[in-house]
Structure 1
Amino acid sequence: MTQQIIIVTAAVFGMLSVIFGAFGAHTLKKVLSAEQLKSFETGIKYQMYHAIVLLVLGFNFKMITPAIYWCFTIGILLFSFSIYGLVLSDSKGKKLRFLGPVTPIGGLLLATGWFLLLINFW
């Protein structure tokens, strides 16, 4: 894992959160319930927050370990993207229930990434 990979990963996640946010605000707003839209926005927020953290860590390369990188990267994919899948499938009346348990696993990975960052800093 290189500094370049971390920064590219952060940039891709950041870019996608902006695209998904615009999609949610302009297109999905018309088809999602208020609760579904709020869930979708939660996925976007967590994705962007962790993209920013990855970017900062990418520029402070000594602060990040492979474990932190992978916890944040896989955590974003499992947490945010499972929320997107749950919300979009629910809006079509065919909720992908198998994604329900994926979200907390992603959240656990995100929290573990923060814990590892704390340990690494300490």
Structure 2
Amino acid sequence: MKNRWLFLSALSGFFCIAFGAFAAHGLEKTLEPKALAWIDTGLKYQMFHTLALLGLGLFQLANLGQNSPSCRAKAFNIIGGSWVLGILLFSGSLYLLALGASRIFVWTTPIGGTIFLIGWATLAYISARKPKS
């Protein structure tokens, strides 16, 4: 795959729009306000991280011709992977809970949030450290 982060951001963005429209127009009359609020929260966090993945993919695309250090590529994989996994666990659990899945998924939401934080902390770390000469 040429650029996995662009691809995953495109899929995630598509899902946000499709599921958001479905929830707003198809589920609005059937779900409780609390369930709709969970979907709204999941969509917000998913879209924020979809845009972050888009930025990560565009940054990688802009630097394809340059020799990027192997440690930066590893860090990008940690960052992007954390955001994708965070979307699946955090937003996905909220969607499942809103649609009536087992309450066991309430434990998945904070795990997903923690994984989001790992991605952001990794981005802060590689941005703040001095490049090796």
Q: TM-score scaled by structure 1?
A: 0.89
- Where does residue 30 of structure 2 map in the other structure? 31
Q: Unmatched 5+ residue regions in structure 1?
A: 90-94
Q: How many residues align?
A: 116
Q: Deviations over 1:70-122 (max 9, x none)?
A: 10010100000110001101xxxxx4111110010001001111111111111
RMSD across aligned positions (CA) = 1.5
CA–CA distance in structure 2, aligned partners of residues 121 and 107 of structure 1: 21
1:79 to 63, 81, 90: 90
- Where does residue 111 of structure 1 map in the other structure? 117
Deviates more, 1:62-71 or 1:42-51: 62-71
The structure whose Rg is larger is: 2
Identity %: 37
Q: Deviations over 1:30-76 (max 9, x none)?
A: 11111211111100111111001000110012676111011001010
Contact 1:75 1:110 in 2 (8 A): yes
Q: Unmatched 5+ residue regions in structure 2?
A: 64-71, 129-133
Task: Considering fraction of residues, name the structure with more helix.
Answer: 1
Q: TM-score scaled by structure 2?
A: 0.82
Contact 1:50 1:76 in 2 (8 A): yes
